[in-house]
Structure 1
Amino acid sequence: MNDQAPEGVRLQKVLAQAGVASRRVSEELIVAGRVRVNGSVVTELGTRIDPENDLVDVDGTAVQLDATKRYVMLNKPRGVVSSMRDDRGRPDLRRYTERFEERLFNVGRLDADTSGLLVLTNDGELAHVLAHPSFGVTKVYIAKVTGRVSAQTVAALTRGIELEDGPIAADKARILSASAEGGGSLVELTLHSGRNRIVRRMMDAVGHPVEELVRRQFGPLHLGTLPAGKTRELTTVERGALLTLSRGGPSTPSPENP
């Protein structure tokens, strides 16, 4: 941290430019001891920092100081592959990134037949960290499956089942709806595993093949009402939550093909 260097930028100005709060409110946050620079609380309003190298957080949530970084949420439709260029000529992610000046790429992957939340960014470091297998990012899926799912099946999913590549257990599982007429069931699964097509393989293993699958949540991000095929930029709060997760080290999964 560079307190006195004239080339530094005042901390309250940096916070305001990052969209955290107005400069006046940012000053109040600093005086209240709610701002840290490189892990140390800073309460001096004259403090200057280097926005390119110093790490800042407010109330424990990281602040993105690099204005060149862009973070976009996509509700990926079925049939689109999680690639910027598919060598088989299938629909890919370019159609959603072409309007952005920055060269965006996806954080992890969703299988072509799976829809839902996918993050697009030009922040290579964050993308690498969050997609690394040593992380356990929680992901929430809603699966439409064949057959009527029982409470016993849900218990088996959370207790753990054996797959060809080893045991797996859902963090949480619950039945959203189950048709008495055999019209299938809706099941919500929460997982931190990044294993390939894991949701489909788990539901196959318990006798309820997946007909449709959507990822509703990725770590702190929620899909909400974003329509299929649409994008939106992450809010300041969402960016901060994602950065906080990425700075937390290997405690958070590789969003590979579910």
Structure 2
Amino acid sequence: MASPDEGAPGHDSAGEGIRLQKLMAAAGVASRRVSEDLISAGRVTVNGDIVTELGRRVHETDRIAVDGTAIQLDTTRRYLMLNKPVGIVSSLSDERGRPDLSRFVSRYEERLFNVGRLDAQTSGLLILTNDGELAHVLAHPSFGVMKTYIAKTKGHITPQTVAKLRAGVELEDGPIAADKARIVGQAGAQETIIEITLHSGRNRIVRRMLEAVGHPVIDLVRRQFGPLHLGTLAPGELRDLTKVELGQLLTIARDAADPSGTDTGKGTDRER
């Protein structure tokens, strides 16, 4: 009879899991030998506990971290970064027939959905995934994941206006304050480039904040979502997250997760 380690990753006939180093190697964390060295050095935790024995058996549902950074053992999960162009609605199927995200995800076998939304006239960083738990944490404002936007606005924004944005402005759905705001530069005498960081997920929030202080948005792009940076990704292009980027996102999600394990992502801001 085959030994448990000879089966598919994460499974054996006795239901006892698979050796930690083998599952780490199967997930692409490191080779099995390097994974063994990481475990022996006390750099790997399983469900928050340091593991040093090489015989430890785990499952794909266990929460594994290396040097405090979470790793994903479930190879069925996919995580993409898209630079959403202007004119694309944040929906996988738009009932009004407008250009939507389906053109970007149709090439993938997984059923992907967007984490939160960008309005049609806003471009920039959008995450696409099939990981509902991660999406819930990233999209819900109560978890405080920061998003950074660069806006070109009408008019000359003064330092006093920036201070007002940080202190808070009153909108029709309640007050809102930028977590950070700074002037990046002037685009001529009648236009300003401003950077705004906030964790709110309210609809068109950056546009409405700037409108409220008398500086309507001309152009708006999201450059950063949590630890992710748009970088040089061109509009309309998408790519898989790197292992470092994914580890940073998973660490945020796991740190924020309900300790009881009941937070399954059912409240995600996802398209249905």
Q: Tell me if both proteins adopt one fold, taking TM over 0.5 as the criterion.
A: yes
Q: CA deviation at 1:6?
A: 7.9
Give the alignment partner of residue 31 of structure 1, picking from 40, 49, 59.
40
Structure 2: runs of 5 or more not aligned: 1-13, 259-267
CA contact (8 A) 1:18 1:67 kept: yes
**2:90 is matched by which residue type in structure 1?**
S
CA contact (8 A) 2:155 2:189 kept: no
Other-structure match for 2:138? 130
Instruction: Write out aligned runs for 1:109-188 (5 A).
Output: 109-179=117-187, 181-182=189-190, 184-188=191-195
Q: CA deviation at 1:49?
A: 1.1
In the aligned structure 1, how far is the partner of 2:269 from the partner of 2:153?
Answer: 21
CA contact (8 A) 2:182 2:196 kept: yes
Give the alignment partner of residue 250 of structure 2, picking from 243, 248, 251.
243
Distance change in 2, residues 1:201/1:113 (3 Å): same
CA contact (8 A) 2:80 2:129 kept: yes
Give the alignment partner of residue 206 of structure 1, picking from 189, 204, 213.
213
Give the alignment partner of residue 75 of structure 2, picking from 67, 73, 78.
67
Other-structure match for 2:234? 227
In the aligned structure 2, how far is the partner of 1:59 from the partner of 1:135?
Answer: 23
Distance change in 2, residues 1:212/1:16 (3 Å): same
Deviations 1:102-145, CA, capped at 9 Å, x for gaps: 11111111111110011111122322332234322100000010
Other-structure match for 2:262? none
1:101 lines up with 2:112 in the alignment = no
What SS does structure 1 have at the residue aligned with 2:107? coil
Other-structure match for 2:25? 16
What SS does structure 1 have at the residue aligned with 2:108? coil
Other-structure match for 2:9? none
Give the alignment partner of residue 49 of structure 2, picking from 40, 43, 66.
40
CA RMSD of aligned residues (A): 1.9
Distance change in 2, residues 1:73/1:179 (3 Å): closer
In the aligned structure 2, how far is the partner of 1:14 from the partner of 1:236?
Answer: 16
**1:230 is matched by which residue type in structure 2?**
E
Higher mean Cα deviation, 117-126 or 21-30? 21-30
Q: CA deviation at 1:174?
A: 0.8
Identical positions, percent: 68
What SS does structure 2 have at the residue aligned with 1:181? coil
Higher mean Cα deviation, 219-228 or 15-24? 15-24
> What is the total number of aligned residue pairs between the two structures?
248
What SS does structure 2 have at the residue aligned with 1:120? strand
In the aligned structure 2, how far is the partner of 1:50 from the partner of 1:255?
Answer: 28
Higher mean Cα deviation, 26-35 or 79-88? 26-35
Deviations 1:11-57, CA, capped at 9 Å, x for gaps: 12222222222222222221221111011110112212122x21111
